[in-house]
Amino acid sequence: MSAPTRPRLVLVGPPGSGKSTVGKVLARRLGVSFTDIDVLIEQQIGKTIAEMFTQDGEDAFRALEREVVARALQEADGVLALGGGSVLAASTREALRGHRVVSLKVGLADGLRRTGMSTARPLLAGVNPRATFKALLDARAPLYREVATVEVDTVRRSANQVATAVLLALGETDAAPQGEPDEDEPLDRPTPHEAVPLPDPLGHPR
């Protein structure tokens, strides 16, 4: 049975794990394209994901997300970043089998700080975002682990440092860093779209 290998690698992880930011760095290092599922969805629906949640509901969004992910896993080249909740679908987890999947880990405090409780993240817009985010992490952690080829911790690391850890974990030692240190993107600040091997290849404290 031939293994699906269309994307060079797939990134999964919770909001605030840096999937979009790290994905762009990885794509640059590998000399390939970068595709963000959230961006594909917003281009298709012509509005933000937060607006779709409000207007159409989460079920409608998840159904569309499953379709977009399935298509991207067959058509996208390079680095593909999934939405934080993409792994909730059993069909998506099955479709990820055979792909190189990197799970980016983030703790509660770092995830909250990085997301900034942005209104662009509808699942974190409740009255108690800390409790909501903790419940999200607890529920999804086993699913990220289930689909992951490797896991990489993002705590106290910049985007370039996380990308380096990912490449080492995957054995991509020929992918040289590009860009000057002052061009490095910090992860510890909110970004419009966010989301180990075992153990951490660089030996950084967790």
Known binding positions for Mg(2+): 20
Nearest to 168, CA basis, from 196, 204, 201 = 201
Nearest to 155, CA basis, from 17, 21, 25, 19 = 17
Known binding positions: 16-21, 38, 62, 84, 121, 140, 157
Contact 48, 42 (CB under 8 A): yes
Q: Work out the widest C-alpha separation in the chain, in whole angstroms.
A: 48
Known binding positions for ATP: 16-21, 121, 157
How many angstroms separate the Cα of 150 from the Cα of each of 93, 136, 153?
15, 21, 10
Peptide bond into 199 cis (omega under 30): yes
Contact 154, 110 (CB under 8 A): yes
Known binding positions for substrate: 38, 62, 84, 140
